[in-house]
Amino acid sequence: MLENDIERIFFSAEQLQVRVCELGAELTHDFYDKNPLIIGVLKGSFVFMADLMRSIKTYCDIDFMSVSSYGNGTTTTGAVKITKDLSYDVQGRNIILIEDILDSGITLSYLKNYISAREPESISICALLDKPARRRSQIVPDYVGFICPDEFIVGYGLDYAERYRNLPYIGVLKPEIYT
């Protein structure tokens, strides 16, 4: 059923797991003995973050933020609204912001500035996918799973109108579904 809406698979479940484990090893190395606070940007990051956390082999805390800037569309509205704020105090903490896809950069730019005002020790950005062709903000991720071309993709947490998050791979959505 869901698979019928996918034009082609872009990143297989196997490719995702290999790269997530590599990112986990990088984060373990860079944050070993720093007890980072890993902040997932909901909802899209939850699948990636769950797998990534199991690959990080050092102490860490987790928290989530929920923001909205897309609604049910395929492009950002440009207005970022925080719908769930942090539970932890971030002052003096090493923060790792986890995002499913860095697209326009508007949301992550806003969140980085928002969190910076709370005086963390550091803020790093880990994005599963980086889509630089759509960037409207000068933000650059510190850790990237894959560079992604300018196509509308879903799966592994990424959605269109809250659908397709449960696909185990990332695929290109057929244009007739969203146009």
Q: Looking at the domain covering 14-148, what would its CATH class be? A: alpha beta
Render pLDDT for 48-76 as a digit per residue (tens, 0 to 9). 999 999 999 999 999 999 988 655 555 55
| Confidence label for 2 from pLDDT (cuts 50, 70 and 90) | confident
Q: Where are the domains of the chain?
A: 14-148
| Confidence label for 144 from pLDDT (cuts 50, 70 and 90) | very high
Angle between helices 46-55 and 13-31 (to 10 degrees): 60
How confident is the model over 108-117, as a mean pLDDT?
95
Give just the sign of the alpha carbon dihedral 48, 114, 87, 60: positive
| Confidence label for 118 from pLDDT (cuts 50, 70 and 90) | very high
- Give the catalytic positions in this structure: 103
Task: List, edge to edge, every strand of the sheet that includes 37-42.
Answer: 81-84, 61-68, 37-42, 94-102, 122-130, 143-147
